[in-house]
């Protein structure tokens, strides 16, 4: 079975890849380079020039060629590799009539625990949405930013003491609203310096967060390891990592307890399985990252099904509790009691609706960052 066509599909704010074969079987994947989908789409086209005419089943071979050819990678490139890799696994599963996890050693679990997104520009919004997700049966909530998801156009400034005190009080209120039956996955969005991250991480220990995600920008394993060494709560990071070697470096420095690989940016399901094995050797757990579409979720669930160190799955729902991008796909179950059934149909177990690119026109993301009051910029 040979690859006959590789096509990027821009729909809404998402980038998908569709791969067709001469046997009539097709597969779909998703790129996680969400800020630069246009560049990632160009990379999908270029890799397609290499792939057309090649055997669709040689996934590991193609993965190595795409990773190693011409030496350069980065998010737009690895997002394209990820989309193609996922689509090739989808094809292989469909060809053999089994879900992808059956090709990766078989299922360890049949359903995956979820944490639901809770976002808000005020603490009152966060508390109200947390209570709504708890009422829907979720046992964990995340994307939970105690520094708040405020308007990016509003210049930012807080004195250190006020910045820490307000965010610590916000975590206290979130724990009060959650009780002990709902875990808090605290998300910082790379907002802090190492001294701030240590101060804040120590202060929120009494509220027992499940993990403390991305306190720093993801560039220095040594800085993240120093933070982890100075705080009593577990660190989660990795959603921006584009290489399994970056995960290995941070694990070797004891800088992370929960790894957050995004299978749509780190190199697809092939890379996800390798990263999970690395983590297993360090007794670290996997929390697959997915702020994307149901396709990214389905790919993450195929990985979650077959690795022993899966912890919990990110579920990118909106304020109304509905999965983002859900009208674009068929085949994915709805959550129940805080868990979701892992798709059992061949391949990924879900499909894009017909004519998706016309029904959901692309939405561009302009380059923007929140300004600091002094004229510099703020990570948010």
> Same domain for 46 and 107?
no
pLDDT score at 71 = 86
Question: Of 25, 19, 21, which Cα lies nearest the Cα of 44?
Answer: 19
Does a structural domain hold residue 73?
A: yes
> Same domain for 39 and 92?
yes
Does a structural domain hold residue 160?
A: yes
pTM given for the model: 0.97
Domain end: 99, 131, 149, which one? 99
> Same domain for 223 and 257?
yes
Q: What span, in angstroms and rounded, lies between the C-alpha atoms of 213 and 190?
A: 8
Does a structural domain hold residue 125?
A: yes
Domain that holds residue 22: 3-99
The count of domains in the chain is: 2
- CATH, residue 193: 3.20.20.120
Domain end: 45, 76, 99, which one? 99
> Same domain for 39 and 173?
no
Residue/partner pairs of 200-205 with CB below 8 Å, 24 or more apart: 200/164, 200/167, 200/168, 201/227, 201/230, 201/231, 201/232, 201/233, 202/230, 202/231, 202/232, 203/164, 203/168, 204/146, 204/168, 204/171, 204/233, 205/231, 205/232, 205/233
Does a structural domain hold residue 371?
A: no
Torsion angles phi and psi, residue 39, rounded to 5: -65, -40
Does a structural domain hold residue 352?
A: no
Taking the C-alpha atoms of 161, 167, 173 and 177 in order, what is their torsion angle to the nearest 10 degrees? -170
Q: Tell me if residue 189 is catalytic.
A: yes
Helix 268-281 and helix 75-96, axial crossing angle in degrees, nearest 10: 100
Q: Which of 36, 189, 326, 372 is catalytic?
A: 189
Question: Of 220, 218, 243, which Cα lies nearest the Cα of 68?
Answer: 243
Q: Which of 70, 160, 289, 326 is catalytic?
A: 289
pLDDT score at 380 = 85
Does a structural domain hold residue 63?
A: yes
Q: Tell me if residue 289 is catalytic.
A: yes
- Mean pLDDT for each 10-residue chunk of the chain (380 residues)? 98 97 98 96 98 98 96 94 98 98 98 97 97 98 94 93 98 98 96 97 98 95 97 97 96 97 98 98 97 96 98 96 94 96 97 95 92 94
Domain end: 77, 99, 121, which one? 99
C-alpha distances out from residue 311 to 99, 279, 295, Å? 21, 12, 20
> Same domain for 40 and 175?
no
> Same domain for 252 and 112?
yes
Does a structural domain hold residue 372?
A: no
> Same domain for 271 and 139?
yes
> Same domain for 88 and 158?
no
> Same domain for 282 and 155?
yes
Element (H, E) at 177: helix 160-178
> Same domain for 141 and 265?
yes
> Same domain for 194 and 296?
yes
> Same domain for 110 and 77?
no
- CATH, residue 59: 3.30.390.10
């Amino acid at each position: 079975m040979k690859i006959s066509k590789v096509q990027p599909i821009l729909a809404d704010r998402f980038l998908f890849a569709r791969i067709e074969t001469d046997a009539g079987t097709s597969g779909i994947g998703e790129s996680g380079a969400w800020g630069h989908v246009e560049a990632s789409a160009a990379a999908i086209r270029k890799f397609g020039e290499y792939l057309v005419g090649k055997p669709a089943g040689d996934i590991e071979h193609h993965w190595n060629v795409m990773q190693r050819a011409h030496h350069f990678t980065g998010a737009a490139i690895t997002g394209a590799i990820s989309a193609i890799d996922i689509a090739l696994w989808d094809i292989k599963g469909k060809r053999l009539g089994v879900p992808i996890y059956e090709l990766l050693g078989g299922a360890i679990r049949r359903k995956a625990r979820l944490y639901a997104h809770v976002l808000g520009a005020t603490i009152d919004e966060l508390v109200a949405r947390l209570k709504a997700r708890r009422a829907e049966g979720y046992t964990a909530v995340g994307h939970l930013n105690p520094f708040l998801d405020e308007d990016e156009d509003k210049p930012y400034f807080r004195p250190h003491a006020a910045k820490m005190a307000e965010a610590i009080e916000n975590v206290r209120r979130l724990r009060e609203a959650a009780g002990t039956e709902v875990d808090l996955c605290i998300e910082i969005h790379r907002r802090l310096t190492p001294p701030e991250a240590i101060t804040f991480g120590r202060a929120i220990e009494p509220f027992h967060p499940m993990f403390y995600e991305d306190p720093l920008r993801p560039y220095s394993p040594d800085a993240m390891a120093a933070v982890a060494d100075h705080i009593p709560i577990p660190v989660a990071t990795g959603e921006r990592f584009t290489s399994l070697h970056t995960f290995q470096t941070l694990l070797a420095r004891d800088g992370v307890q929960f790894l957050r690989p995004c299978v749509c940016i780190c190199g697809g399901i092939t890379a996800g399985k390798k990263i999970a094995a690395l983590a297993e050797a360090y007794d670290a757990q996997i929390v697959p990252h997915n702020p994307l579409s149901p396709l990214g979720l389905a790919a993450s669930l195929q990985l979650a099904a077959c690795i022993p160190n899966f912890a919990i799955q990110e579920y990118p729902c909106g304020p109304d509790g509905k999965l983002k991008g859900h009208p674009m796909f068929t085949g994915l179950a709805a959550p129940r009691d805080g868990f979701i059934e892992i798709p059992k149909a061949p391949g990924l177990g879900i499909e894009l609706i017909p004519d998706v690119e016309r029904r959901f026109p692309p939405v561009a993301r302009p380059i923007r960052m929140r300004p600091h009051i002094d004229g510099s910029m703020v990570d948010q």
